[in-house]
Amino acid sequence: MELSQIQKNLNHIKSQLGNAKLIAVSKYSPVEDVALAYQAGHKDFGENRVQDLSEKANYFQEHHLDHVRWHFIGHLQSNKVKDLFLIPNLEMIHSVDSLKLLHEMVKRKSFLKKAIKVFLQVNTSHEEQKSGFESLEEIENAILYLRDHSDKFELFGLMTMGPIRTENFENGAEVSFKQLFELSRELNEKFKLNLKLSMGMSQDFSIALKYHSDFVRIGSAVFK
């Protein structure tokens, strides 16, 4: 891609976001394009596979692009936790989707050089192929558990995705995003938190903004 095109795409998206922050999802893009986006002034990038993130983060380190902030947004397998924690400039994990994974993260926390921010992923659309917490009880257990490990994990917010395969994605996204918003208010009240919301992708981010999303994760609309 051309730097000018990436710059244009970034400006166009950011002009629609208000106070929400853009995570540019680089999973389908070669690292050279990600470096161009960095050169255009963007610093927050999301990847959904540990191996890909690791390769891109190494490239950034070798080229001294040191102000990058990496966001992991995919399903994290227990056996990849250590590799993820070793990645330089890992900023946030948006996709903590089970207590089992949290336990594994705590077990490996000494591999983290500094504290990272975590989002609990909630399966608001209850689709089987999607991961994420389903019950309030489990989410509350995760919140309490994270409090005991705040030296390395800062509970930062909740994340969700709209339904994947549906005739009318707008309706599905409305329902999912509204549900996450309401859940965050409830938990904020109960646990005295200030949970951020990570929701909205290329096709549905305008709906997510209606429900006060703080972080939109946008891939195709940035790198096209």
Ligand X SMILES: *Cc1c(COP(=O)(O)O)cnc(C)c1O
53 makes contact with ligand X (CB under 6 A): no
The residue within the footprint of ligand X, chosen from 29, 48, 131, 176 (CB under 6 A), is: 48
CB of 219 to ligand X, least distance (A): 3
Measure the CA–CA gap between 122 and 100, rounded to whole angstroms.
Answer: 15
- Please answer whether residues 211 and 181 qualify as being in contact, where contact means their C-beta atoms are separated by less than 8 angstroms: yes
Nearer to ligand X, 74 or 157 (CB): 74
CB of 170 to ligand X, least distance (A): 15
217 makes contact with ligand X (CB under 6 A): yes
The residue within the footprint of ligand X, chosen from 10, 24, 25, 105 (CB under 6 A), is: 25
- Please answer whether residues 177 and 200 qualify as being in contact, where contact means their C-beta atoms are separated by less than 8 angstroms: yes
Nearer to ligand X, 26 or 184 (CB): 26
CB of 209 to ligand X, least distance (A): 14
- Please answer whether residues 188 and 194 qualify as being in contact, where contact means their C-beta atoms are separated by less than 8 angstroms: yes
Binding mask 94-133 for ligand X (x = CB under 6 A): ----------------------------------------
Taking alpha carbons only, the member of 97, 86, 83 closest to residue 50 is 83
Binding mask 175-204 for ligand X (x = CB under 6 A): --------------------------xxx-
27 makes contact with ligand X (CB under 6 A): yes
Nearer to ligand X, 60 or 223 (CB): 223
- Give the number of other Cβ atoms within 10 Å of residue 110's Cβ: 9
Q: According to CB under 6 A, which residues from 146 to 175 bind ligand X?
A: 161
For CA atoms 8, 10, 15, 16, the dihedral sign is: positive
42 makes contact with ligand X (CB under 6 A): no
56 makes contact with ligand X (CB under 6 A): no
34 makes contact with ligand X (CB under 6 A): no
Q: Residue 17 class from Cβ within 10 Å (0-12 exposed, 13-18 middle, 19+ buried)?
A: middle
**CB within 8 A of 68, min separation 6: which ones?**
38, 43, 45, 57, 60, 89
219 makes contact with ligand X (CB under 6 A): yes
Q: Give Cα 17 to chain centroid, integer Å.
A: 16
Q: Residue 137 class from Cβ within 10 Å (0-12 exposed, 13-18 middle, 19+ buried)?
A: exposed
| Position closest to ligand X via CB | 219
- Please answer whether residues 54 and 48 qualify as being in contact, where contact means their C-beta atoms are separated by less than 8 angstroms: no
Residues in the site for ligand X, rule: CB under 6 A? 25, 27, 48, 73-74, 161, 201-203, 217-220
